[in-house]
């Protein structure tokens, strides 16, 4: 379930090339989840790492986690 959730969230990621030639990526609806790196692949990998950390912390703290493609992660009780 967690893998499918992360994959679904990553499909919603958007990327752009900044003026300095680096790539910036973010996922709408996941405040504070963004990455910046010199290649698109490295940016994607870093963005997924940031997302994973954001999800773990959010679940531990009982934050509301967005529903993605009808996939839900429930916070720890």
pLDDT in tens, 7-49: 999 999 999 999 999 999 999 999 999 999 999 999 999 999 9
Q: Which residues contact 49 (CB under 8 A, 6 or more apart)?
A: 35
Between CA 48 and CA 1 the distance in angstroms is 16
Between CA 37 and CA 23 the distance in angstroms is 5
pTM for the model: 0.92
75 three-state secondary structure: coil
Ordered structural domains, the chain, with CATH? 2-61 (3.30.160.250)
């Amino acid at each position: 379930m967690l893998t499918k959730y992360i994959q679904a969230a990553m499909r919603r990621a958007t990327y752009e090339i900044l003026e300095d030639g680096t790539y910036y990526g973010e996922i709408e609806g996941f405040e504070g989840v963004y990455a910046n790196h010199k290649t698109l692949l490295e940016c994607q990998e870093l963005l997924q790492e940031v997302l994973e950390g954001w999800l773990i912390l959010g679940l531990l703290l009982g934050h509301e986690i967005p529903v993605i493609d009808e996939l839900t992660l429930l916070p720890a009780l």
